[in-house]
Structure 1
Amino acid sequence: MPIQDGRQTSSTTTDAAANGSSRSRKSGAIHAQLSGISVSTTRVGVLVEAIEFDLFYDYTCPFVYRAAEMLEVVKESGERELHVTWKFFSLAQVNANDPEWTAWGAPDSETVRGRLAFRAAEAARRQDAFESLHMPLLLARHRDREDIDDPGVIKRLAGAAGLDGDRFGADLADRRTLEALARDHSEARAKHGVFGTPTFVFPNGAAAYVRLAGVPSKEDALRIFDRLVDIARGEQSILEIKRPVAPV
């Protein structure tokens, strides 16, 4: 019988468990196909729903930060397999008074709110490190109240995230990083009619602009996320829900 880490194991029991898990995964996948649910069966004996969406965002937006924190908790729970494509959407651009002006076309000498963070994220992507810098940028702005339009802050965050400093600095200075901002923002406006952040866009074409009142607790995050997805993705007849606030 095989020995592993000094403990004796039974290959028969292991094989039986593996076969049982395989049957469970197959049964779960078949049930999911019949009921129209997208699932992942990578966790042994557990069905995990796979949810895919694009999320248009601006690093300066507090509602993006709240949504991102919620998604982090959902991912860490292991109860949902999230496939999120983060796409740039400039609030400076959408709020511009000059119809000819663009956040991606403005010269480097002009400070454009939030633009440097987009460039930093794209520079990190060139090192396959987008995820390593993405949350630190949001945390720096909204939790730590740092100025993410400051190159010094950006470079410090990149260093803490483990990026190659010289390469990051060169890529940050490369204006071609703005091509992603131009592409994503233009897609958001022309294809989905996005007007604010965060906006979730699902594969079925359903889109929803979402504002959370705060960062959900770990106990509530999954429940809130599931309800959000159910309505945003599945109830396209609901165009808007807005809570009135009584005057103080």
Structure 2
Amino acid sequence: MTPTLIYFDFLCPYAWRGVELADLLRREHGLMFELRHFSLVQGNHNDNAQSRHQPTWWLTDQAAGSGSAAQIGSLEAFLADQAAARQSEEKRWAFALALFRAVHRDKAELSAQTIQAAAQTARLDMAQFQTDLAEDGARRAELRTDLAAAAEQGVFGTPTFVLPEGHAAYFRFANLVSPEKALETWQLYVSVLESDARIETIKRAKRA
């Protein structure tokens, strides 16, 4: 079975809710999802304003510790997630969820300290995690592959789901989806995305 891809950024609370939904669906309903990275810092960079499909400024080219706090934190988080993935797919999900929850539920700063704590929460082999993190060039190459695929796909926000049939869309979650509503919510999303009506935007009006 071909998995649904989910592009995410640890900076984004909507992505956190999307990854939580995907985790519910894969654990409770046997659906398949694959985690992929998309950088909001890269996507919104002024140097890439002319074309998201062909970035000229890449997060993976930036020196560690350089740039804004968002740039530093997101690069460190992405590379750590790639390192976690070296231990197993389940460990990667555990790490991603632990880091998302620390940042967006518990309001921790996206920092090296928070990343290390998330790795411990996910019960990673910490010695192996540090070894894999130290292979910076390899982790950056893996991240670059994700970012290039996101650019080719036209991803502009997170979470973006890419269905096995190729349909893809950004889905903004106002709230966490309850376990009881997870499958119903997903089926509604898929039906809208696959509909011949080709609905491009649904945006709620906001009262003053």
The 2-side partners of 1:166 and 1:92 are apart by 30
Q: Give the deviation of 1:181 after TM superposition.
A: 1.8
Q: Deviations along 1:101-148, whole A, 9 cap, x unmatched?
A: 321110113152411111111101112221221210111111111122
- Aligned equivalent of 1:59: 10
Residue among 43, 68, 80 paired with 1:120? 80
More RCO (CA 8 Å, sep 6+)? 2
Distance 1:235 1:137 in 2: 38
* Structure 1 segments of 4+ aligned residues over 4 angstroms from their partners: none
Equivalent residue, structure 2, for 1:30: none
Instruction: Name the structure 2 match of 1:239.
Output: 200
Q: How far apart in 1 are the matches of 2:25 and 2:86?
A: 27
Task: State the partner residue of 1:136.
Answer: 98
Aligned match of 1:179? 141
1:162-214 per-residue CA deviation (whole Å, 9 max, x = no partner) reads 22222212322322212122111111112x21111111111221111100111
Question: Which residue of structure 1 lines up, in the alignment, with residue 109 of structure 2?
Answer: 147
Equivalences, count: 194
The structure carrying a bigger strand percent of its residues is: 1
Structure 2 distance, partners of 1:156, 1:236, is 46
Q: Is the radius of gyration larger for structure 1 or structure 2?
A: 1
| Gap runs ≥5 in structure 2 | 49-55
For residue 104 of structure 1, the aligned residue among 60, 76, 94 is 60
With normalisation by structure 2, the TM-score equals 0.84
Q: In structure 1, how many angstroms separate the alpha carbons of the residues matched to 2:141 and 2:195?
A: 33
Q: In the TM superposition, what is the alpha-carbon distance from 1:234 to its structure 2 partner?
A: 4.1
Aligned residue for 2:179, secondary structure, equals coil
Matched with 2:30 is 81
Instruction: Write the distance in 2 (CA, Å) between the matches of 1:234 and 1:115.
Output: 36
Q: Which amino acid aligns with 2:58?
A: T
Give CA-to-partner distance per residue, 1:50-80, whole Å, 9 cap, x none.
Answer: 783111111111111111222333344x3x3
TM-score by length of 1: 0.72
| Greater shift in the superposed pair: 230-239 or 165-174 | 230-239
Range moving further from structure 2, 170-179 or 102-111: 170-179
Structure 1's unaligned 5+ residue stretches are 1-49
Give the alignment partner of residue 158 of structure 1, picking from 90, 94, 119. Answer: 119
Larger helix proportion, structure 1 or 2? 2
- Give the match for residue 52 of structure 2: none
Change (3 A) 1:235 1:207: farther
Contact in 1 for aligned 2:79/2:140 (Cα 8 Å):
yes
Rounded Cα–Cα distance in structure 2 between residues aligned with 1:54 and 1:165? 27
